[in-house]
């Protein structure tokens, strides 16, 4: 399924408006308590661990969450129904999660809620947030050695000195993780000219994010070669900017000996 949406990227996460004015989603690593009407999904390393109606900072931190997804549907769809729909999906998939008590979905709302939940799950999968049990998720990994996409990584002064190179989809680049929220792509990096399309020929979500990053750097590349050093905020942004993602970029950035940036910085 193809969805059109506007995206905003910040140091604290991602916010995007849902298609057809259906609401918005925020994915963040900031866990401030929030009593706003909404559905809150706590995530730990890509796995859903809680679905609730209110966000309590202490509870989220005590569970060891690494991200929170905030879902704010439009006024004509009650958040309690969305919460219930997502909880039903989690129960069907036998996920062990922290839940909240919410009322059942009325029969006349079930189709609308099901379609909304399907859209949410599809969009969150782009960010490797899964409603699939861990055992099943492991079956679909492309490599037995690959780390979970949402593993935690920690910057340090030593890694800032290392030159990492990219060689993927015909793209070559030299990259430095120079500060905690700064990835430096050196001048002369080659970029993928056109994003791979979905099987049905539609535009993918990664293409939209990648194109937005490229628009923000307009004037800093010509003929898909960077003409100046470029600063981005994360390893994932580097992958989206250079080659529209499509892989775990933590495994694509390697030093001169082939050691990945993941190996240098993953928190074990």
pLDDT tens digits, residue range 202-259? 666 678 788 889 999 999 999 999 999 999 989 989 999 999 988 889 999 999 999 9
pLDDT on residue 4: 59
Banded model confidence at residue 182, pLDDT cuts 50, 70, 90: very high
Asked whether the predicted pLDDT for residue 144 surpasses 80, the reply is no
Q: What is the enclosing helix (H) or strand (E) of 59?
A: helix 57-62
Whether 55 contacts 29, CB under 8 Å: no
Sign of CA dihedral 142, 143, 144, 148: negative
Measure the CA–CA gap between 44 and 234, rounded to whole angstroms: 19
Instruction: Determine the pLDDT at residue 148.
Output: 43
- Its sign, for the CA torsion 27, 154, 212, 209, is negative
Query: Can you tell me the mean pLDDT for 143-149?
Result: 42
Order of strands, sheet of 164-168, starting from the edge strand that comes earlier in the sequence: 164-168, 171-179, 182-185, 230-232
- Per-residue pLDDT band at 181 (split at 50, 70, 90): confident
d(CA 136, CA 210): 29
> What average pLDDT does the structure give for the chain?
83
Mean pLDDT over 100-104 rounds to 80
Q: Measured between alpha carbons, how far is 210 from 244 in angstroms, rounded to an integer?
A: 5
Residue 35's pLDDT is: 66
Those residues with Cβ within 8 angstroms of residue 132's Cβ, 6 or more apart along the chain or in another chain: 93
Q: What is the mean pLDDT of residues 45-62?
A: 84
Q: What residues does each domain of the chain span? A: 7-136, 159-265
* Higher-scoring residue by pLDDT: 58, 165: 165
Eight-class DSSP state of 202: P
Residue 146, pLDDT score: 43
The per-residue pLDDT for 221 is 97
Distances 218 to 18, 213, 222 between C-alpha atoms, Å: 26, 9, 9
| Model pTM score | 0.51
């Amino acid at each position: 399924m193809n969805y059109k949406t506007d995206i905003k990227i910040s140091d604290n996460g991602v916010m995007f408006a849902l298609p057809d004015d259906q609401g918005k989603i925020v994915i963040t690593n900031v866990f401030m308590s929030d009593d706003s009407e909404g559905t809150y999904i706590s995530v730990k390393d890509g796995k859903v661990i809680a679905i609730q109606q209110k966000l309590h900072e202490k509870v989220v931190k005590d569970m060891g969450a690494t991200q929170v997804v905030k879902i704010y549907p439009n006024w004509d769809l009650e958040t309690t129904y969305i919460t219930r729909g997502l909880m039903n999906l989690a129960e069907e998939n036998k996920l062990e999660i922290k839940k909240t008590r919410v009322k059942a979905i009325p029969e006349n709302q079930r189709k609308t809620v099901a379609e909304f939940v399907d859209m949410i799950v599809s969009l969150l999968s782009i960010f490797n947030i899964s409603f699939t049990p861990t055992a099943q998720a492991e079956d679909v990994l492309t490599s037995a050695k690959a780390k979970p996409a949402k593993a935690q990584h920690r910057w340090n002064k030593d890694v800032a000195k290392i030159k990492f190179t990219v060689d993927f989809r015909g793209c070559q680049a030299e990259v430095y993780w120079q500060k905690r929220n700064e990835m430096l792509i050196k001048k002369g990096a080659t970029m993928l000219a056109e994003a791979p399309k979905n099987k049905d020929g539609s535009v993918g979500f990664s293409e939209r994010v990648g194109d937005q990053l490229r628009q923000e750097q307009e004037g800093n590349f010509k003929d898909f070669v960077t003409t100046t050093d470029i600063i981005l905020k994360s390893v994932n942004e580097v992958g989206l900017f250079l080659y529209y993602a499509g892989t775990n970029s933590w495994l694509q950035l390697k030093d001169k000996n082939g050691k990945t940036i993941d190996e240098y910085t993953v928190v074990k």
